Structure 1
Amino acid sequence: MSIKARLVRTNASLWSPLVLRLVVGAVMAGHGSQKLFGWFGGKGFEATVNGFSSMGLNPAPVMAGLAAGGEFIGGILLILGLFTRLAALSTVVIMAVAIFTVHSSAFFLPAGMEYALTLLAAALVLLETGGGALSADSKIGAGVSTIKA
């Protein structure tokens, strides 16, 4: 199976991935926009870089850009159902890093990991299922051969 086919294959009759994509995608895009642009009560990129630096995540501008960009772009991709598996993998990595660097001291909020762990688990489901119904992947995947050329 080609790499492209692996990325976009999905069962277009499954509706549960749509719900996960929309919710997780909106949450991730919203959080990314807070970090990048200061939208929705966020503090913007400079504050994000400073926060990453204070946590020892260096080089802070690169790490902040990867996290914020991954959240924002990955969230948009999840909403569209475009390259769902790649966006879900990005979410898994970002949430795993968040759990181990910021939220490892407790399970429940405000400092706990349960929120990030829930997003990680939902992203793992999307990594397995793909975009499902009403996803761009289902449209692209319909025209992709699953046999290696």
Structure 2
Amino acid sequence: MKKFIFKTNNSWTGTILRWTIGIVFIPHGLQKTLGWFDGMGFKKTMSFFTENVHLPGMVAFTVILIEFVGSILLLLGLGTRLWALSFIGLLTGIMLTTHLENGFFMNWFGTQKGEGCQFDILAIGIVVTLLIEGGGKLSVDQWISHRNNMHKD
């Protein structure tokens, strides 16, 4: 199992995709944990998720954890496949519980009740590719995998 988590293709594909997801989601994680970018911070976000969205506390905490810690570790390329799987669950949950009811398209012009599932599908495609490819070049996963292969002899 450990071998699968850290194994990665030696290509730029994983690097570009994990940096893309990391850059897109780290501001969301910072909003939810530290209140940056006009966010609510951890305590208010937990309260909003549990009281308004009616998520169980553990699910609310997991959402925040994935968006904050997961984004940072994807940027570094540490446990890429594990975090990709986590983002697949996160994005599927958001799409099915919140965005799908608003249709397909994103709410570019503010004419819909909320966001559609277009972004979720795009982001799921990216993280599924990371699940298959791994973290790629310049990842901690690559360093760990290379180091483990050197010590096999």
**Which TM-score band (shorter chain)?**
0.7 to 0.9
Match for 2:129: what amino acid? V
* TM-score, L = length of structure 2: 0.85
Q: 1:131 pairs with 117, 132, 135, which one?
A: 135
Partner of 1:85: 81
For residues 108 and 75 of structure 1, what CA distance do their matches in structure 2 show? 25
Partner of 2:53: 55
Q: Deviations over 1:27-59 (max 9, x none)?
A: 222211111111112122233223323222123
For residues 44 and 108 of structure 1, what CA distance do their matches in structure 2 show? 28
Identical positions, percent: 36
What secondary structure, in the 3-state scheme, does the structure 1 residue paired with 2:147 have?
coil
Maintained 8 Å contact 1:77/1:83: yes
Q: Which runs of structure 2 are paired with 1:6-85 in the superposition (5 Å)?
A: 6-12=4-10, 14-53=11-50, 54-59=52-57, 62-85=58-81
What 5-or-longer segments of structure 1 have no aligned partner?
Answer: none
For residues 67 and 30 of structure 1, what CA distance do their matches in structure 2 show? 14
* TM-score, L = length of structure 1: 0.87
C-alpha distance 112-69 of structure 1, shift in aligned 2 (>3 A): same
Question: Which portions of structure 1, spanning 4 or more consecutive aligned residues, are displaced by more than 4 angstroms?
Answer: none
What is the number of residues matched between the two proteins? 140
Q: Deviations over 1:45-86 (max 9, x none)?
A: 233223323222123xx2221101111111111101111101
